[in-house]
Structure 1
């Protein structure tokens, strides 16, 4: 999503006229962060930089907050001996510019057209590179992803319907040449004040320059596949009742409000593979006594120790392959929960060990669909219903936990810092 914001914003900047020379530079300190300072000039530069990026949060307060956090990041790096080399900085500059499909030089030219000096860009990237190394050294070693976390995440993915249709409202505000910043500020104000569909509809009636304005910006159900590819991740990243940040397009600023979604489960998502333990005892009373004590399949194995092999069976199979009498009982059990089936003279203790969507059972071992290109090259074929690989999901969880830990550490640094304003 961030890459989409960057691409859209840069497209607008590249096609815009060259900005007029800025006002006199003001290097007076505005904020003191421990032993560092943030100047008025830096705040103005960061505000322009955030506008070019079409950042979700913009304005003076957001720029000041970002610069304060950069000072804290740099200080944390110095405290553990992290120094950003020239090579490391150049790699960081190139990596960030590459998100918009530009070289470092091309990206700097775009920034300069909007009045952002290259030093502001270098300072921004340098703080990010330094912080990444702080996170790598200080936080990453303590973060791990267990197999249980991974399995749970994969189950949630299988059980979550794929969104196939969306119900959105639009608000498109014209931005004539020279009025782009004022219109963007107006749109940003809406993102702060609009908290409901009714409020969005009222704003659309007043401000939107499209035929849908009379309907409060409301559009009919729209297939996700029919949406512009660059817009899909923006809309799919919302929950019903949320709106996008302002999106800059040629001659306008656009806002979308997600009212509802429709979806469907992946093919086969309802099919389950069951793993259960069946132990046959001489009487119902004996089976019930063991069921009351065993808390897991592993414990049940201990209780069954010494019984003949034919009386202890571990079974794994699809729902359709399990005897109906047992399948009905398993349907109401949670993992490591047991039930007793009276066989008239004997009794079966049945405990559910695991319940896994069939889609996950062969996730890492199934065949990969392929396609042949026009030049004869064989490549993996795209499948919108395909599940992500386990290691890909593990990496996502790891990155999320790293981000949460890093944010918590930064908040701790800010709470401990001496911050005062001129």
Structure 2
């Protein structure tokens, strides 16, 4: 189960509440069968209301697909003999409710006030727990993250500028007492349309109560540290051209659209350390022949034959590498080779890897003090801090697992018998 809204927004949605939609003439009439398991009209109405409370798009098609997917998740769990225990369900209910700062009992009561039956909440959590069991049993054993993938992601993160300023547009929709739900619905509609900059500006001119409405909600450049701490991760999670989900503030619902960002590289991120191999030859022809055969740094020794003993492998900063060799290395990808022609001799050059100097330095860091941490460093996040290798590995693992889960759900959907009465 994914986080849909922040706890604050979720609580606000629960407190707003609303009457449940009117029941159809036959609310328990099946509307679709998934592998012979019926989804009723009443379930659809309840899931739509539940999604509204959570702040998720709640149109009929989206809610119906969510119910179909839950049936497929439970079907997959049944095939593997995975059952959700009472203890496991209760733990899942408590965990989900804690995202809104509530206990499961408080969350259930709030849902009932908003017109959502407790069983809807229980079914939603049960499907999520069962699906996690499926992922653990079937998919996780197949997911692996190599050291090379971690190195590549670390390099990407280090070479990505740290955002220091953002160019935002704002849209502030008034939500006076009694009109909170209408304001939220309008904000969801705007955000759900994935508006372009021009479309967001038009909506701001029409609906925003801010003084920036006449300019399409456009704000000047803002330093990230000047934003409220709770808002920073929301904004930093966007790419230029994206809009936030609706944010509840007292008396209003707010949307932000990210137009652009500015950032700086970490000190030393442009400087590189290169791992490379060289082998001297008496003639250019010999060097070129081996360069054409060479496949990787690991196999160069065997490919070089009797000359393997003369191979030199070095790891050096760019500014320490001889100019002619550095010039050749600049145009090479990992495990590519080239030849430096000296006229009366030649040198094969093969690049094994390149990485930002600050990453190479971090791998060689050793502790210089035995003093215990005093907690101050942890209290002040360091924007320049290098990504933690194990954290990056976990992020990659979770990303792969999520992609595998999505692919497996799509496979289940393709193989299922889904029919309408």
TM-score (norm 1): 0.89
Shift of 1:322: 2.1
Q: Is the 8 A contact 1:201 1:216 kept in 2?
A: yes
> SS in structure 1 opposite 2:335?
coil
Ranges in structure 1 where 5+ consecutive residues have no aligned partner: none
**Structure-2 residue corresponding to 1:349:** 348
Shift of 1:223: 1.3
Matches within 5 A, 1:113-124: 113-124=113-124
1:34, 1:337 → 2: CA distance?
53
> SS in structure 2 opposite 1:156?
helix
1:101, 1:242 → 2: CA distance?
28
Q: Quick check: 1:300 aligned with 2:300? A: yes
**Structure-2 residue corresponding to 1:30:** 31
Aligned length: 416
Shift of 1:380: 8.2
Shift of 1:168: 1.1
Matches within 5 A, 1:90-105: 90-105=90-105
Alignment deviations for residues 352-395 of structure 1 (CA, whole Å, 9 cap, x no partner): 22112122224455358985248xxx868632122222222122
Alignment deviations for residues 41-74 of structure 1 (CA, whole Å, 9 cap, x no partner): 322322222222222x323332222112111111
Q: Is the 8 A contact 1:54 1:247 kept in 2?
A: no
Q: Is the 8 A contact 1:12 1:250 kept in 2?
A: no
Runs of 4+ more than 6 Å apart: none
**Structure-1 residue corresponding to 2:374:** 372
Q: Is the 8 A contact 2:278 2:349 kept in 1?
A: yes
User: In the superposition, relative to structure 1, how do residues 31 and 308 fare at CA in structure 2: closer, same or farther (>3 Å)?
Assistant: closer
TM-score (norm 2): 0.89
**Structure-2 residue corresponding to 1:49:** 50
Shift of 1:147: 2.4
**Structure-1 residue corresponding to 2:247:** 247
Shift of 1:323: 2.7
Q: Is the 8 A contact 1:282 1:346 kept in 2?
A: yes
User: In the superposition, relative to structure 1, how do residues 14 and 130 fare at CA in structure 2: closer, same or farther (>3 Å)?
Assistant: closer
1:340, 1:33 → 2: CA distance?
63
**Structure-1 residue corresponding to 2:385:** 386
Matches within 5 A, 1:10-409: 10-13=10-13, 16=16, 26-55=27-56, 57-193=57-193, 195-307=195-307, 309=309, 311-343=310-342, 345-364=344-363, 366=365, 371-373=373-375, 382-409=381-408
Moved more, 296-305 or 276-285: 296-305
Alignment deviations for residues 207-264 of structure 1 (CA, whole Å, 9 cap, x no partner): 1111010101111111122222222222222221222233333322222211111111
2:352, 2:182 → 1: CA distance?
61
CA root-mean-square deviation: 2.7
2:256, 2:87 → 1: CA distance?
41
User: In the superposition, relative to structure 1, how do residues 21 and 149 fare at CA in structure 2: closer, same or farther (>3 Å)?
Assistant: closer
Q: Is the 8 A contact 2:164 2:223 kept in 1?
A: yes
